[in-house]
Amino acid sequence: MKCIRSELIGWGHYLPPKVLTNDDLSKMVDTNDEWISTRTGIKTRHISEGESTAQMSVKAAGKALEKAGLTAADLDLIIIGTLTPDNTTPSAAAKVAGLLGVKSGTPAFDVSAACSGFVYALTMADNMIRLGQVRTALVIGAETLSKVTDWTDRNTCVLFGDGAGAVVLRALEGIGTAEDTGILSTKLYADGTKYGFLYTTGGVSTTANAGYITMDGKEVFKSAVGCLSDAAEYVLKDAGASVEALDWLLPHQANIRIIDGVGHKLGIAPEKVIVTVDHHGNTSAASIPLALSESLESGKIRKGQLVVLSAMGAGFTWGGVLIRI
Ligand code: UT7
């Protein structure tokens, strides 16, 4: 049965120029390259020096629009997954719409789902495209996590980085099978009973400031492998595709041990797993679009290939998207 699909027609990413190494961090807190590398797989991360989430988003979006051969005037929708918007209100998406020069009346909003923010945003955009409400959507994952990082806490400050990734989706009539291009299946989850395992120490209605990220790393780790694999398995099954048919697993980039665990659990060879955590660190909602855009740009992920995106983060929230490029 024919159906409307959301085809990926553009992508782009932006990383702020400043690179922070593990050796740099060892001069700030009691840590070392050996610990960070073996426990997390992270070697370097990018840190914004004055560029906001919206400003980085505009740079990533500009590249995505150029790749798609479109201008901001062609957009019908903007969604940004972020936990670090420029202001508490309005949304980063509204600011980006203004900065890009998107036509008045185009809906723009943020999604707050922490590290799952991009997968949530992509799912919202896909649903609106499938319903025929919009035809062309800009979906961004962007973070300035350096602003909510406690740079004196070695448990967390070695993990995070800044950056932005963007994609442009366009409605396409598909044949309705897993052979279609575009988004084939999406699935979102949350479990609010896990709220206290990963959160910021502040918030608007409590402390009236943003606070800093704090987490029970072991508890998050324990749930992460299961959540990320379950979401990937669900969307594969839902689309009638097998793990063997998959070209790439692109999981949230939080920790190489989690990424390896997911690949192992799903039975996917390490060569088919996208890894950018080594040079991006954990960029929360930006992690998947950064890795996706970088892999498409380098030619690692190619047209026609089947890719499963899988994210997990604070909330807990988690989810998966199956897409044929
Ligand atoms: O993005 C959303 C999802 N987030 C995640 O998926 C993160 C999940 N969690 C993790 O990735 C890991 O739990 C961490 C990387 C955060 C921590 O790794 P771990 O293997 O669970 O280490 P740990 O917290 O159990 O700490 C082990 C030891 C402790 O020392 P003792 O108590 O054994 O003496 C820590 O104090 O390592 C110590 N430690 C450090 N040592 C050097 C903690 N942080 C550091 C550090 N440098 N930066």
DSSP character string of 232-293: HHHHHHHTT--GGG-SEEEE--S-HHHHHHHHHHHT--GGGB---HHHH-B-GGGHHHHHHH
Burial class (CB in 10 A: 0-12, 13-18, 19+), 205: exposed
* DSSP strand pairing (162-174 vs 136-144): antiparallel
Predicted pLDDT of residue 39:
98
- What's the pTM value of the predicted model, to 2 decimals? 0.98
60's CB contacts (< 8 A; 6+ apart) are 12, 13, 14, 140, 142, 164, 165, 166, 289, 293
Predicted pLDDT of residue 1:
73
Predicted pLDDT of residue 274:
98
241's CB contacts (< 8 A; 6+ apart) are 178, 184, 306, 322
- Asked if 252 is an active-site residue, the reply is yes
Q: Which amino acid is at 164?
A: A
The per-residue pLDDT of the chain, averaged, comes to 97
**HSE (side-chain half, CA atoms, 13 Å) at 138:** 40
Q: What is the pLDDT averaged over residues 147-173? A: 98
Predicted pLDDT of residue 2:
82
- Asked if 264 is an active-site residue, the reply is no
pLDDT band, residue 176 (cuts 50/70/90):
confident
* Alpha-carbon torsion, ordered 176, 305, 185, 166, to 10 deg: -120
The overall longest dimension of the chain from CA atoms, in Å, is: 60
Q: What is the pLDDT averaged over residues 284-304? A: 98
Q: What is the pLDDT averaged over residues 26-39? A: 98
Is the CA virtual torsion 76, 8, 284, 160 positive or negative? negative
pLDDT band, residue 87 (cuts 50/70/90):
very high
| Phi then psi dihedrals of residue 76, to 5 deg | -110, -5
Contact 285, 143 (CB under 8 A): yes
Token pair for 195: 């709220």
Predicted pLDDT of residue 157:
98
The owner of tokens 């406690």 is: 150
Round to whole Å and give the CA distance between 254 and 278: 10
Predicted pLDDT of residue 235:
98
Q: Is the pLDDT of residue 101 over 90?
A: yes
- Asked if 282 is an active-site residue, the reply is yes
- Cα–ligand 1 centroid distance for 148 (angstroms): 18
Instruction: Write down the catalytic residue from 22, 115, 157, 227.
Output: 115
Q: What is the pLDDT averaged over residues 239-265? A: 98
Test site for ligand 1: of 159, 213, 221, most ligand atoms within 8 A of the Cβ: 221
In degrees, rounded to 5, the angle at the alpha carbon of residue 257 between the alpha carbons of residues 162 and 186 is: 70
- Cα–ligand 1 centroid distance for 155 (angstroms): 6
* Alpha-carbon torsion, ordered 237, 240, 244, 246, to 10 deg: -90
Closest ligand 1 atom to residue 313 Cα is: 2
Q: What is the pLDDT averaged over residues 241-245? A: 96
Q: What is the pLDDT averaged over residues 174-179? A: 89
Predicted pLDDT of residue 262:
98
Predicted pLDDT of residue 114:
98
Token pair for 126: 């896909």
Token pair for 286: 């930006």
**HSE (side-chain half, CA atoms, 13 Å) at 232:** 33
| Tens digit of each residue's pLDDT (9 = 90 or more) over 202-218 | 999 999 999 999 999 99
* DSSP strand pairing (136-144 vs 77-81): parallel
For ligand 1, residues with CB inside 6 Å are 31, 35-36, 39-40, 115, 154-155, 158, 217-218, 220-221, 224, 254-255, 258, 282, 313
Q: What is the pLDDT averaged over residues 219-236? A: 97
Round to whole Å and give the CA distance between 197 and 192: 10
- Cα–ligand 1 centroid distance for 292 (angstroms): 27
Predicted pLDDT of residue 140:
99
Test site for ligand 1: of 27, 32, 39, 312, most ligand atoms within 8 A of the Cβ: 39
- Cα–ligand 1 centroid distance for 46 (angstroms): 20
Contact 289, 167 (CB under 8 A): yes
Predicted pLDDT of residue 102:
97
